Amino acid sequence: MAQDGSVQPTFFAEGRLDGQAFLRRERGTVEPQGLWAKNLSTETWRKETKDLKEKVEDLRKCLGEILGLQKEKGGLHSLQEIVSCEMGEDSHPRGVRRLYYDGELLLSCGLETHGCTVPQASAQTLALEMEKTCDMDELSRHYWAHVRGELCAKLQGYLKSWTSFTERTVPPAVTVTCSQALEGTDNLTCQAVSFSPQNISVAWYQDEKAVSPDTQQSGGVLPDGNGTYQTWVTLRVPQGEEQRFSCHVEHGGNHSVHAVPCGKAPGRHRWWIISGALTLVTWFCSYTKMTPLVLRHQESIELEDLQQSQVLTRTASHQRPVFQPRAISSTEGA
């Protein structure tokens, strides 16, 4: 926001639970972040929207007062507020509220001290000016009431919903991918995402035997940011042997095996060559065996014809000569 108010002020807010974002307000719209937040009631989001709308007005007013105390004119300025509440096993709330002006810590208020301090010396001048125009004790009490009465009360309600959400069992979505590594090797990656609770086992097997963990690279189990978790395990294998490996996943008492999508089935190409060779050998053998039979059959026919001719010739010779010289000459001439 400019000191003369010529620039339209913008407002951004984000809510986090145990470090994971569940709420975001940008461009005037409050949106849930993650599966858990999307399951919260409509009334919860109505109240969050109302509270953030009031917060916009409070920060705009506070920034205007700070700009009024500054001697310099012009330029863009920002005011940031961080409010947090922590609750341990003893259920005792521990809250902090910090105010930053142009990225520099201006005020820090705590539940235990019930007061506000100015940690940075460079902000002393502005803080002193604020003390002259603002009731710091009242401001401290207001901060304390807000942190303990509103924020910590929300935290207790959210924790119940969060615990119920995280204790449910959500099976992992598993994918196996291949990527080329060094020359002659491939990386096989087995990734499991969107599962809960976080206890899971993801391991590579070769020929149905577990591969040593020392040869596998794991990314650990990490939060997805929506109440579920993710993990991955990578193994480097020689090219051509991918199909000998499989990914085994155990979660929530269930066990699943996932095949590798790349590579060729072991032995398939070799058996195709052997099968083709046997087929060719059989064909040539059959051809070789069939050829003499055909030749013998043809010789048999010719011998039979020759024998029949000889028989006819001998039979006819008792009656008259079979061929006359003239007839032979006429036949040749024709």
Is residue 188 assigned to a domain?
A: yes
Residue 124 confidence class, pLDDT cut points 50, 70, 90 = low
What are the CA-CA distances from residue 109 to residues 86, 130, 251 (Å)? 14, 15, 45
End-of-domain residue from the set 149, 166, 183: 166
- C-alpha 299: how far from its chain's center? 77
> Whose CA is closest to 64, among 143, 24, 103, 7?
7
Is residue 2 assigned to a domain?
A: no
What CATH code is carried by the domain that includes residue 225? 2.60.40.10
Is residue 83 assigned to a domain?
A: yes
Q: Residue 269: what pLDDT?
A: 43
Q: Quick one: 310 and 213 in the same domain? A: no
- Paired sense of beta strands 173-180 and 115-117, if any: unpaired
Is residue 3 assigned to a domain?
A: no
Q: Does 303 have pLDDT greater than 70?
A: no
Q: Quick one: 145 and 30 in the same domain? A: yes
Q: Which domain holds residue 297?
A: 268-333
Is residue 298 assigned to a domain?
A: yes
| Number of compact structural domains in the chain | 3
End-of-domain residue from the set 115, 137, 166: 166
Which amino acid is present at 57?
E
What are the CA-CA distances from residue 85 to residues 75, 112, 118, 277 (Å)? 34, 12, 20, 77
- Paired sense of beta strands 12-17 and 229-238, if any: unpaired
Q: Quick one: 154 and 37 in the same domain? A: yes
Q: Residue 108: what pLDDT?
A: 79
> What is the arithmetic mean of pLDDT over 213-220?
94
Judge contact between 56 and 12, C-beta under 8 A. Answer: no
Q: Quick one: 123 and 195 in the same domain? A: no
Which pTM was predicted?
A: 0.55
Q: Does 130 have pLDDT greater than 50?
A: yes
Is residue 288 assigned to a domain?
A: yes
- Give the best-scoring range by mean pLDDT among 192-196, 273-277, 288-292: 192-196
| Token output for 31 | 């949106």
What CATH code is carried by the domain that includes residue 117? 3.30.500.10
Is residue 4 assigned to a domain?
A: no
Is residue 98 assigned to a domain?
A: yes
**127 Cβ partners below 8 Å, 6+ apart?**
106, 107, 118
Q: Residue 207: what pLDDT?
A: 96
Q: Residue 115: what pLDDT?
A: 66
End-of-domain residue from the set 143, 166, 189: 166
Q: Quick one: 242 and 196 in the same domain? A: yes
Q: Quick one: 235 and 294 in the same domain? A: no
Q: Quick one: 20 and 139 in the same domain? A: yes
